[in-house]
Chains A and B, each alone.
Chain A
Amino acid sequence: MALVSAPLGKKTVCTASRVHALSVAAAGTRVRDVTDLKQTMITSLPRLRRFARTLARSIPEADELVQEACLKALKSADQWDASQPLDRWLFRIVRNTWYSELRKRQVRLGEGQIPAEESDELIETATGEALAIAGDLRRAVDALPSELSSALLIVSVEGYSYAEAAELLDVPIGTVMSRIHRARKLLAGRLAETGEDQA
């Protein structure tokens, strides 16, 4: 909700040619790649935000995560193997950025974690409460424990194999399978409850 002013004074005008010159000076022939990278990244933002939302629990936090991850990716653009799908690389950076943040928080708060695949309930977070109020089943996905919803998204929607998801999420294949199944069982339970409520 920021309102930003934008004086068009000569000293503050930033032209494309200036950015281009800076990029050429430092990145040589890779400038075209970086430009493409940015554009592809922007095109991928809806999917990156969605993945981030399975990790962070709020939209503002997910947006901050995506921004931080994209800026990191741009800083390390030379590490991107262009023969690999860009989204896989970006998902990985989003995931690593999030877990790095999470570790800091856990150190700060001294919290431990229960393995998500052992979770037997949906999380009644702010969105979970909204779920109860609105009766909106689609919000049940928001209420899944983070590790479950990210695994389900990556495999069931993004189309990754269990092996690819395991690499991306940095967990064993068996854990991927358990998490996806647990996610589906929790959602199925919610569907069943709703059916009973309506009966």
Chain B
Amino acid sequence: MTDMSEKLSAYLDGELSADEAATIDAALASDPDLMRELESLLAADTLARDSFQAMVEEPVPLALASTIRNADTVAAPPPQRSWTGIAAAAAVACFVIGGAAGFFVGQSETGSSPGWLASIADYHGVYAAQGRHLVEVPAEEADHIQTWLTATIGADVRIPDLSAEGLRFQGARLVVAAGKPVAQLMYTDGNGRVVALCQIGTAAPQDGFATTTLNGFDMVSWGGREANFVVIGDEGRPDLVTIAEIAAAQV
């Protein structure tokens, strides 16, 4: 029976010859136990497919995609590293954006506190799932949003046009991070995925761009006029750096 049992899998996978398949067909017609076994294998296969489908839908870490995008393909092979060291090495990357310009990402600063970004990641986790209640003030009131948030956070708030990256402005929220008011501008892409641009007033804006991943979201932050900015989206979003660049040029 073991042989027949194993052949059931091959039967399911279309790996049997016509003669062997006919033998299985005949056996299935006359043996209810064998038919039940086939049904259990089919159920197992369905379970496996669902599980594997869920795995492939998980977001890819930004660092992994960035490391590949910026890998040197022509120099000597990479030095041997311990496996535990590879993740740290992933933090050293050279972003190349759109063929025009890029920016260098320096050494990992794993010891530093992400500060307001941790709160932003938490907010994003909450609000990005809100659907109909995504925003506090809708996009139709864009003028009011700019006036209101500029007055509240103490820095000039502008609403960048991110339609070049397929993002549509949906409206805004006011949130609090590190004890200070933060303007949160919400955008959605064609798939309904939310990307937020957040802005916090500061007298000492961040120097240059930085990427980080917190609570399952990728973030690209930078400093501007009397404010720090961050673009946040799903972990693994390949276009987040481009979005940040486009936003940075407009705010």
Chain A residues engaging chain B, CB cutoff 8 angstroms:
1-9, 12-16, 19, 22-23, 25-27, 34, 37-38, 41-42, 45-47, 49-50, 53, 60-61, 63-64, 66-68, 70-72, 74-75, 77, 101, 137-142, 152-153, 155-157, 161-162, 177-178, 180-181, 183-188, 190-192
Q: In the complex the two chains form, is B45's CB within 8 Å of A71's CB?
A: no
Q: In the complex the two chains form, is B73's CB within 8 Å of A67's CB?
A: no
Q: In the complex the two chains form, is B87's CB within 8 Å of A60's CB?
A: yes
On whether A4 and B99 interact (CB within 8 A), knowing A74-B71, A141-B51, the answer reads: no
Chain B residues engaging chain A, CB cutoff 8 angstroms:
5-6, 8-10, 13, 15, 40-41, 43-45, 47-58, 60-61, 63-65, 67-75, 77-78, 83, 86-88, 90-91, 93-110, 112, 114, 207-214, 236, 238
Contact among B68, B99, B106 for A38, CB-based, below 8 A: B68
Apart from A14-B96, A16-B98, A46-B60, what are 18 other A-B pairs with CB-CB below 8 Å? Answer: A2-B109, A2-B213, A5-B106, A5-B107, A6-B210, A7-B208, A14-B70, A15-B101, A19-B70, A23-B74, A45-B68, A46-B56, A138-B54, A140-B47, A156-B13, A177-B6, A184-B44, A191-B44
Contact among B71, B91, B98 for A2, CB-based, below 8 A: B91
CA distance A5 to B103 in the complex (A): 10
Contact among A74, A162, A177 for B73, CB-based, below 8 A: A74
Provide 15 A-B residue pairs closer than 8 Å at the C-beta atoms, listed in order of the A residue: A2-B212, A4-B93, A4-B105, A5-B109, A6-B103, A6-B105, A8-B209, A15-B102, A19-B96, A37-B73, A46-B57, A64-B83, A156-B48, A177-B9, A180-B9
**Which 6 A-B pairs give the minimum distances between C-beta atoms?**
A187-B44, A26-B74, A141-B51, A12-B104, A181-B9, A14-B94
User: Chain B contacts of A177 at CB under 8 A?
Assistant: 6, 9-10, 15
On whether A185 and B44 interact (CB within 8 A), knowing A4-B106, A67-B86, the answer reads: yes
On whether A49 and B207 interact (CB within 8 A), knowing A75-B78, A180-B9, the answer reads: no
Contact among B10, B71, B207 for A7, CB-based, below 8 A: B207
Provide the main secondary structure of the chain A interface: helix
Q: In the complex the two chains form, is B9's CB within 8 Å of A13's CB?
A: no
CA distance A130 to B110 in the complex (A): 28
Q: In the complex the two chains form, is A1's CB within 8 Å of B211's CB?
A: no
User: Chain B contacts of A183 at CB under 8 A?
Assistant: 44, 48
Closest to B214 in A: A1
User: Chain B contacts of A23 at CB under 8 A?
Assistant: 73-74
Q: In the complex the two chains form, is A7's CB within 8 Å of B47's CB?
A: no
User: Chain B contacts of A138 at CB under 8 A?
Assistant: 47, 50-51, 54
Contact among A1, A16, A155 for B13, CB-based, below 8 A: A155
Q: In the complex the two chains form, is B47's CB within 8 Å of A187's CB?
A: yes
Contact among A2, A60, A72, A184 for B9, CB-based, below 8 A: A184
User: Chain A contacts of B95 at CB under 8 A?
Assistant: 6, 14
Distance (Å) between the CB of A147 and the closest chain B CB?
Answer: 15
Distance (Å) between the CB of B94 and the closest chain A CB?
Answer: 4
Closest to B90 in A: A67
Distance (Å) between the CB of B148 and the closest chain A CB?
Answer: 31
Distance (Å) between the CB of A150 and the closest chain B CB?
Answer: 11
Distance (Å) between the CB of A173 and the closest chain B CB?
Answer: 9
User: Chain B contacts of A6 at CB under 8 A?
Assistant: 95, 103-106, 208-211
Contact among A8, A41, A186 for B68, CB-based, below 8 A: A41
Q: In the complex the two chains form, is B104's CB within 8 Å of A13's CB?
A: yes
